[in-house]
Structure 1
Amino acid sequence: MRQRIVRLALVGGVLLLALLLLLATCGGGGVDTKGGGGAEKTPSRSTGPATRLNVPPGYTTAHGWEVSGTGPDYALSHTTGRLAYLVKAPGDRYRLRTLDPETGRAGWSGEAWRPLEPQRFPKLLTVAKDDRQYFVTWSFGRTGDGLTQARTFLSLDVYDVVDGERRRVEVPWTGAPTVTATGPGILINDGGVNSAVVDPVSGEVSRIPASAVTYPKGCTACRQLTEVRGQTADGLLLSGAREFWVRGGWFSRKTAPKGANPASGVPTAVTPGLVLAKWQLAKGAKRAATHQLWAVHDAATGKPAASVECHRPAMEPGSYPQAVVSPSGRYLVAGNLAFDLRERKAFCFEEDDGSARLTLASVTDGGSAYGATTARDADEALEGDGGGPVTMSFTTGDIEALAPNTRLPEAEASGVGVFRWTDRKDRMHLLGYPRVG
């Protein structure tokens, strides 16, 4: 009888041990189970990410987070401190996930859906209206089953940044669209003047045909090569061969920066609340034949915030430098240009012969900008293919060379630098390394 009791106790102990092992394997936090389908472990700040890139001084790879298999785009909401990214899901579907950049902890995760072009990741951007922000994914394609007439349209999914509530909007569209979010709506444009604006709150679509475009009085150049460039809080921003204006609002000729020819402005980049434009120098100016003026304008009023002179390029570029703004909106960089909008200071980094010394690709609220020499654009600088990486200080205006294999931060959120890296299997990794010191 005693032996039987001992055997039962041993069996019970083995079962209890097996149960504890099972709970240890299947339980525990750190896994995003919302929606399933390739859920990832929440990165840990205590152990740090598995990938340790060579990063600029001021960031540490000993802590942080990492997610793999992401799409080429991500979006940041600086007001809520949330980052969004796309991952693949079974059945040619995709899912929007979020995380807290400061901790790496997973946030809400959207339901998986199939885009109009399932072979490629949908596009991702951020839009704000009425003090609310939204993550927006969109794809463009054709639908039809052979029995009904095929049609092309945009499919947009608008997510509330706070809780992930989603609204689906479909907009019939012909031709490849350009989709931006520089104002309170999602702007769809055909590269000319035909446009539509989607209200992120209601989903209402407002179409603006070419016939609705109005031109400033006395501006003949405005009617040449007319193009919608973006959206402001007061309406669409348009430009012609020269000069630019907000429909029903301000006109660049009346808000030209000091020292510029007021009838020569051309917008080159638009970001939420800001317009970067180039100008010819005023007629008779000493350097009018060799230099031009670059200025950052307030999109609400058109007034210039800061400007700087640069050499004219030997050949007019086919594309202009991408403008990137720090989270607080104080600093803006674009190519070899850098602007401190609060102090109204600006820099043009160029050689004596007028060639650009570097291309700046990102900037932080601490006044540090990152880029590379000989890079053709910001993407090339961030990919590490554009010569020597450098950092620039807005405090001193000095440029400092970094180690040749340094990976540059693409953005900074909540004191954490966001980096990207592609492994040998062509999988995209998104990493967060905190700033130290």
Structure 2
Amino acid sequence: MRQKIVRPALAGGVALLALLLLLASCGEPAGEERDAAGGATRGALPSAAPVTRLTVPPQYTTDRGWEVVGASFEVAVSHATGLLAYLERSDEHRYRLRTVDTATGRPGWHGRSWRPPDPPHHPRLATVTRGDRQFFVTWSYGKAGDGLSPASTFVSLDLYDVTDGTRRRVEVPWSSAPDVSTSGPDIVISDGGANSALVDPVAGTVSELGADELKYPKGCTSCKQLTEVHGQTEGGLLVGGAREFWVRDGWFSRNVAPRGADRTSGVPVSLTSGQVLAKWALGKKAERAATHELWAVHDATTGEALASVECHRPAIEPGRSPQAVLSPSGDYLIAGNLAFDLEARQGRCFEDEEGAARLSLATVTDDGTAYGAENARDAPDALSGGGLPVSMDFATWTTDRLARTARLPGAETMGVGVFHWTDRQDRTRLIGYPRAD
């Protein structure tokens, strides 16, 4: 936890003012707190009026459902409990985490309001699972000072047990903009390089790791070039170098390369709770080695390549790689214009004859349907209404155009699709539509 420096007491009025400033800037005390409260909460109740009817994919019905006004665009879903968490701004600079039962629309537990570090950026929201316990995690980065000494920067995390909302706050001193991964079982804070801190969501303990503790694979010279901690698997930290990657105390990419790949070329691109999406160069003797590359999904525990597919090499490397999205059951995985049926061990790359990636997939459900958009910049753009909305059927590997104004589900759980839209008063609305009978 972040350590604070306590100065000698000043005169009564000044000391009181300093204390008030400190409390206002740092928020609530660290440690476990039971913030939760069940039942109705003003301002968070699903709409009592008929639910707004949006244009959505035909798999969902708009005849019934639930609606929340004032929810953040970013949500997190616990598929194990059916709870959906979202952030609500309680005033200009304070936020509150609320939950809703996705199946019924009834409000679940909620937390106390809190203020993120300065400057007050919008906090991020995710889930992390350790063992049989799951947590909603909110995190933000900034500084807090007492007005008497220079402020230090830190990552502030609030961990909420999904079952009852019990909260723990953890503050980790951090000197630069962090990368935060919740692939679990620990929360990994990285500097975008070889340094990282691991936060145990159950105990709240923090451990730091430097570049000299990453256990580089023997004989891998490229592993010490552009070294980056990408996150954590069940077996240990996932670390990548300039051309190869490994799991600390676990497997090495050179030993698990998919068929047809150059064994010394693997680069991790995205990490889910159980899979690593990696990009590989084709073997030098491959017919399409100059024009194509191989994308593969690896089991995060063993490194085994579960499915792979060839795609055109882009003329210009994108500034941001596609993020992998896993279906709740773990049977399907999508990332940009890539789709993988992990149970069938098959993959597809959706591109035109000239190799352009026209499709951005954003959401995938357990019935084998993915949703996205053509000509969208990326998945977030597709979910925001960019491009031409489409659905993709894993049974046939074909896409179908949806209505031009169709909204795409940001997630689906318990048979309910979750949709966002912004009304004319610039209020964000969260709407749950069940699957059509």
What TM-score do the two structures reach when normalised by structure 2?
Answer: 0.89
Map 1:102-181 onto structure 2 (within 5 A): 102-117=103-118, 119-181=120-182
Partner residue, 1:20: none
CA distance in 1 between counterparts of 2:289 and 2:376 reads: 27
Q: How many residues align?
A: 402
CA distance in 2 between counterparts of 1:176 and 1:425 reads: 33
Could you report, residue by residue, the CA deviation over 1:170-190 in whole angstroms, capped at 9, with x for unpaired residues? 111111111110120111111
1:247 counterpart = 2:248? yes
Q: Counterpart of 1:127 in 2: which secondary structure?
A: strand
CA distance in 1 between counterparts of 2:252 and 2:37 reads: 52
Partner residue, 1:359: 360
CA distance in 1 between counterparts of 2:294 and 2:335 reads: 14
Q: Counterpart of 1:381 in 2: which secondary structure?
A: helix
Contact kept, 8 Å, 2:40 with 2:107, in 1: the verdict is: no
CA distance in 1 between counterparts of 2:342 and 2:265 reads: 22
CA distance in 2 between counterparts of 1:362 and 1:319 reads: 18
CA distance in 1 between counterparts of 2:377 and 2:123 reads: 26
Map 1:94-105 onto structure 2 (within 5 A): 94-105=95-106
Change over 3 Å in CA distance of 1:214–1:396 after alignment to 2: same
Partner residue, 2:90: 89
Contact kept, 8 Å, 2:181 with 2:230, in 1: the verdict is: no
Q: Counterpart of 2:383 in 1: which secondary structure?
A: helix
Could you report, residue by residue, the CA deviation over 1:108-133 in whole angstroms, capped at 9, with x for unpaired residues? 11111222147443211100001110
Contact kept, 8 Å, 2:282 with 2:289, in 1: the verdict is: yes
Q: Percent of counterpart pairs with the same letter?
A: 61
- Report the residue type matching 1:427 in the other structure: R
Partner residue, 1:329: 330
Partner residue, 2:411: 411
- Offset of residue 210 of structure 1: 2.1
1:431 counterpart = 2:435? no
Contact kept, 8 Å, 1:415 with 1:435, in 2: the verdict is: yes
- Offset of residue 345 of structure 1: 1.1
CA distance in 2 between counterparts of 1:362 and 1:207 reads: 34
1:284 counterpart = 2:288? no
- Offset of residue 427 of structure 1: 2.1
Q: Counterpart of 2:382 in 1: which secondary structure?
A: helix
Change over 3 Å in CA distance of 1:436–1:216 after alignment to 2: same
Map 1:274-423 onto structure 2 (within 5 A): 274-386=275-387, 388-423=388-423
- Report the residue type matching 2:45 in the other structure: K
CA distance in 1 between counterparts of 2:156 and 2:120 reads: 15
Mind listing any 5+ residue stretches in structure 1 that lack a counterpart? 1-31
**Quick check: which has more Rg, 1 or 2?**
1
Could you report, residue by residue, the CA deviation over 1:212-265 in whole angstroms, capped at 9, with x for unpaired residues? 222111111111111001101121101011011011210000000011111011
Higher mean alpha-carbon deviation, 339-348 vs 421-430, is at: 421-430
- Offset of residue 90 of structure 1: 4.1
- Offset of residue 91 of structure 1: 6.8
- Offset of residue 165 of structure 1: 0.6
- Report the residue type matching 1:297 in the other structure: H
Q: Counterpart of 1:203 in 2: which secondary structure?
A: coil
Partner residue, 1:183: 184
- Offset of residue 366 of structure 1: 0.3
Contact kept, 8 Å, 2:117 with 2:156, in 1: the verdict is: yes
- Offset of residue 34 of structure 1: 5.9
Higher mean alpha-carbon deviation, 195-204 vs 132-141, is at: 132-141
Map 1:193-212 onto structure 2 (within 5 A): 193-212=194-213
1:63 counterpart = 2:67? no
- Report the residue type matching 1:39 in the other structure: G
Could you report, residue by residue, the CA deviation over 1:4-34 in whole angstroms, capped at 9, with x for unpaired residues? xxxxxxxxxxxxxxxxxxxxxxxxxxxx986
1:228 counterpart = 2:232? no
Task: From 28, 41, 44, give the equivalent of 1:40.
Answer: 44
Contact kept, 8 Å, 2:292 with 2:310, in 1: the verdict is: yes
Q: Counterpart of 1:156 in 2: which secondary structure?
A: strand
- Offset of residue 429 of structure 1: 1.3
CA distance in 1 between counterparts of 2:317 and 2:121 reads: 33
CA RMSD of aligned residues (A): 1.7
Contact kept, 8 Å, 1:92 with 1:118, in 2: the verdict is: no
Partner residue, 1:4: none
Contact kept, 8 Å, 2:118 with 2:144, in 1: the verdict is: no
CA distance in 1 between counterparts of 2:393 and 2:80 reads: 25
CA distance in 2 between counterparts of 1:227 and 1:382 reads: 29
Q: Counterpart of 2:159 in 1: which secondary structure?
A: strand
Partner residue, 2:262: 261
Q: Counterpart of 2:72 in 1: which secondary structure?
A: strand
CA distance in 1 between counterparts of 2:370 and 2:230 reads: 26
CA distance in 2 between counterparts of 1:40 and 1:300 reads: 40
- Offset of residue 38 of structure 1: 4.6
Higher mean alpha-carbon deviation, 324-333 vs 91-100, is at: 91-100
Partner residue, 1:13: none
Higher relative contact order (CA 8 A, sep 6+): 2
Contact kept, 8 Å, 2:417 with 2:432, in 1: the verdict is: yes
What TM-score do the two structures reach when normalised by structure 1?
Answer: 0.89
Contact kept, 8 Å, 2:53 with 2:62, in 1: the verdict is: yes
CA distance in 1 between counterparts of 2:311 and 2:430 reads: 35
CA distance in 1 between counterparts of 2:91 and 2:177 reads: 28
Could you report, residue by residue, the CA deviation over 1:45-69 in whole angstroms, capped at 9, with x for unpaired residues? xx641x2110011111111111111
Mind listing any 5+ residue stretches in structure 2 that lack a counterpart? 1-35
Change over 3 Å in CA distance of 1:48–1:363 after alignment to 2: farther
Partner residue, 1:19: none
Partner residue, 1:80: 81
Could you report, residue by residue, the CA deviation over 1:348-401 in whole angstroms, capped at 9, with x for unpaired residues? 111111111311111100000011111110011111122x11111000111111
